[in-house]
A and B are shown apart, each in its own frame.
Chain A
Amino acid sequence: MTNYLLKLRIWRGDKDGGEIKDYPVEVSEGEVVLDAIHRVQGTQAGDLAVRWNCKAGKCGSCSAEVNGKPRLMCMCRLSDFEEDEVITVTPMRSFPVIRDLVTDVSYNYEKAKELPAFAPPPRDADGKRRMAQIDVERGQEFRKCIECFLCQNTCHVVRDHEDNKPAFAGPRFFLRYAELDMHPLDTHDRRELAQGAAGLSMCNITKCCTEVCPEGIKITDNAIIPMKERVADRKYDPLVWLGNKIGLRSKDYEGRTDA
């Protein structure tokens, strides 16, 4: 196994400011950025603040920016870099810093609270529910989300415009709106809400969120664009408009009520 000295630089500081500091650290083959951070913590800076849990790309805790790119530190392999390359780790930029690599991600938890919950009809007579595999798969793709919030961090609607935050739920929650809208059993219609209160219309589909998703969820193509289309259908489709006027309901509205 080959060991070498990694030229690691880490942002240290808090809400009042900070700086990037050098932490040269011994690393070995097969390691990831989070291993190097942990070694710095164990040997050079015991109070280095970093969030992590599973170290397996499943919990989405260790989000940061590695050489400016939003990454999970546990899935960012050192072998992707040259051995003499400098690796600089900084906290996610769109959220306020608490300390070092830890940011205040409460924005996301606040947005989660604004979302109306799943609303199913009663169960079948035998106490069970029936759905086809093909119908649950669309939602399942979105439920792979590990809430690392890298998409939220990257989305330029909030990354460079703090003032947009109150009116914009962000890609993670567009996923959630889409998931519920496409749930085979959900009875609510959340399209109006997604477009209005959640700010879906502010998204101009640059796909930055999709690019950084560590789960490979096609956020833009499979969630955001279909949601925009569904909103457009509802708003502008003349047949739907007429149907609504004369009391007919399209199949897409069957059994659903506005959330």
Chain B
Amino acid sequence: MAETTRHPMTGNEMSGSAEGGMERHTYDVVVIGAGGAGLRAAIAAHDSGARTAIVCKSLLGKAHTVMAEGGIAAAMGNRWPEDNWEVHFRDTMRGGKMLNNWRMAQLHAQEAPERVQELEDWGALFDRTDDGLISQRDFGGHKYARLAHVGDRTGLEMIRTLQQRAVALGIDVFMECTVTDLFKDGDKVAGAFAYWRESGRFIVFDAPSVILATGGIGKSFKVTSNSWEYTGDGHALAMRAGASLINMEFVQFHPTGMVWPPSVKGLLVTESVRGDGGILKNSEGERFMFDYIPEFFKAETADTVEEADRWYDDKKNNRRPPELLPRDEVARAINSEIKAGRGTPHGGIYLDIASRRTPEFIRKRLPSMYHQFKELADVDITAEPMEIGPTCHYVMGGVEVDADTQESAVTGLYAVGECSGGMHGSNRLGGNSLGDLLVFGKRAGEAATAYADSLGEQRPRVDEADVKAAQASALAPFEVEGGENPYTIQSDLQQSMNDLVGIIRTATELEESLSEIEAFKERARTMVVEGHRQYNPGWHLALDLRNMLIVSECIAKAALAREESRGGHTRDDFPGPNPEWGTKNLVVNLNSTGDGVDLHEKPLPEMPDELKGYFA
């Protein structure tokens, strides 16, 4: 008789006597990732009646969503009744330099308000307006104060609320469990292969629907606000399963990351600092953003200090301060100032809120930032300016999906949140990622359940030969002798991507990066892992590194192909946007030998005329 035990870490049921010591679980929907998108998708799948599992690399509640600070963009109109989904839609499209999938931008703007209200039903405690409604704050690129927030720890509030909801619903969670392969039966998804980090033991999930919610790729860059988990797992899993990625050349460098001390270089400083009145200054004390207002945003940006300062209280009669331009514009401006020799002692520029707001206001609105600078840099942000510089923050590119269902080109495979592509075009507005997670998480969970239901008894089956292959592939790093350690390869890759595929790009450097990536791939083939399978970070990194390498190649290849500058992609040799490139996406797929990527162009989906009117 099969003996059943509970997993000591998670309380999940596992069968110790399963064949080959391998656990096997059957679900309708398996969600990979437990950040905002994964949790929301799992809740939706559960509510639609699916047997649902969440599989995540870290403990529940630790995913990168906790790092989101500013807020959730949703046109609820609590502060500005003039705000509505149409204005939000227009802001989103313009922020993305019109390369967004219009349908995703539309759905997002329409559904975000209800998704935020729902969080409140589940216990979230947002900051309030004077009449008791959810407060909304200003952010870059948003016409009205629109971000629902909790101080500057909105992401924590969101993930805790969703986590507590998922726990209350009794959804199974496989924590500290990493998916390394997807299974297919013909052209349909059949399941996933994973290992427990704790024990190194393998698991097979039989499931007709798999939702990727794995987040981004930032760990491929040296200076990043992203955690170790951000190794492009979902991007790589999707490609290996036959799906395609779009917009991979667009990587968002957040304008304000910490630059000192070295140990926290890249750590995020929330855009709320600027939304709440903070300004940028160079070493000469000049408020330089007025010199960097692009033609595209001239009509809606203040060109004098006086007008900019009046805007915080009177939005009707004044235009926005240039510090609140979309992130790509601000990051490029900061980069130029530093390059021109007007940087701070630690190679950043100054972000000053101390001279603009009272210490009480700052501590109340930006408690985490106050704490972060005090504890990690000995800087009191209520008394002195912060030193900041651009940091790799977000990838706009991701799995190409159907806007309404989030299904990829592979039947049964869905992607939501940062690992999906299209919603944000060439540049994401601050506050639009949290809304994205909620809106499309719910849609994917429901669509994945409907598909699983439609199959009846005719479910795809996992092929045992594929299970064996997945197992061999996961164990391969232990088989090598005398090779290199994965930490060294990872660190060299991060340096290379930072130097050659960073915020400003050129053809020669991108070509160089592609040949360096080839060399890293070669080194990775013989990398060696010490120790055994139980909680072994070296082994985990060796497996993640394969994903980082393929995703890095996608970014460099697409960046080389797009000969223009737009949003999160700036080419020194092709400054400025090119209207011809404004009508197409770059699509990447795994090549036929499975060891590299192919690239092709694809026209953007055409926006219907009634929506075109907003941009006339």
Contact = CB atoms under 8 A, between A and B. Distances in A.
A228 to B, nearest CB: 23
Contact of B372 (A57, A105, A112, A118): A57
B487 A46 contact: yes
A226 interface: no
A11 interface: no
Contacts of B62: 53-54, 59-61, 147
B261 interface: yes
Contacts of A112: 164, 167
Chain B interface extent, by class:
35 or more
Contacts of B67: 54, 56, 58-59
Nearest to A61: B62
A75 B485 contact: no
A102 interface: yes
B61 A147 contact: yes
A68 to B, nearest CB: 21
Given A41-B537, A46-B529, A49-B537, A133 B59 contact: no
A144 B153 contact: yes
A247 interface: no
A143 B150 contact: yes
B229 A53 contact: yes
Contacts of B8: 96, 104, 106
B376 to A, nearest CB: 7
Contact of B262 (A28, A41, A46, A131): A28
Interface stretch (A18-26, A122-130, A153-161): A122-130
A31 B485 contact: no
A48 B487 CA distance: 12
B535 A99 contact: yes
Contacts of B537: 41, 46-50
A136 B127 contact: yes
Interface in B54-91: 58-64, 66-67, 76, 78
B3 interface: no
Contacts of A104: 8-9
B133 A128 contact: yes
B227 A55 contact: yes
Contacts of B123: 117-118, 120, 180, 183
A14 interface: yes
B264 A56 contact: yes
B59 A49 contact: no
Nearest to A180: B123
B365 to A, nearest CB: 12
B463 interface: no
Interface of A: 1, 14, 28-32, 35, 41-43, 46-61, 75, 77, 96, 98-100, 102, 104-106, 109-110, 112-113, 117-118, 120, 123, 127-133, 136, 139-140, 143-147, 180, 183
6 contacts: A35-B263, A46-B485, A46-B538, A47-B530, A47-B539, A75-B375
